[in-house]
Amino acid sequence: MSPLDWWLLLAMLLFCIGAFGVLARRNTIVVIMSLELMLNAVNIALVAIAQFRAGSQGAGVLFSLFVITLAAAEVTVGLGIVIANYRAKRTVENDHFDEMKG
């Protein structure tokens, strides 16, 4: 395997861990953390590609910068929603939000 493949494998692993966290954890805070993990996994991939992929012109680095910014915004919004919900319902367990279904 080329170095890039290793990096991509790492990214993939981290991404999967993050995804597993989203699926498995009930605490919304942890879920948000997992989401961040997923984004950062992609960041690793992007930087790695930019570094190792021929002719990639380094756009990946640029991309990852954007992603970092967006991730921050995302967390902000997410936590805001969690807090608002906590005020209303006194819980951060996302299982408790299943009033609407079917």
Using CB under 8 A as the criterion, which residues of the chain lie in contact with another protein when the complex forms?
Answer: 4, 8, 11, 15, 18-19, 22-26, 28, 31-32, 35, 38-39, 41-42, 45-46, 49, 53-57, 59-60, 62-63, 66-67, 70, 73-74, 77-78, 80-82, 84-85, 87-89, 94-95, 97-102
Minimum separation from the CB atom of position 98 to another protein (A) = 4
Structure tokens given for 48: 């790695």
User: Do 34 and 78 meet the contact criterion of CB atoms below 8 Å apart?
Assistant: no
Phi-psi domain of 19 (left: phi exceeds 0; alpha: psi -120 through 50; beta: other): alpha
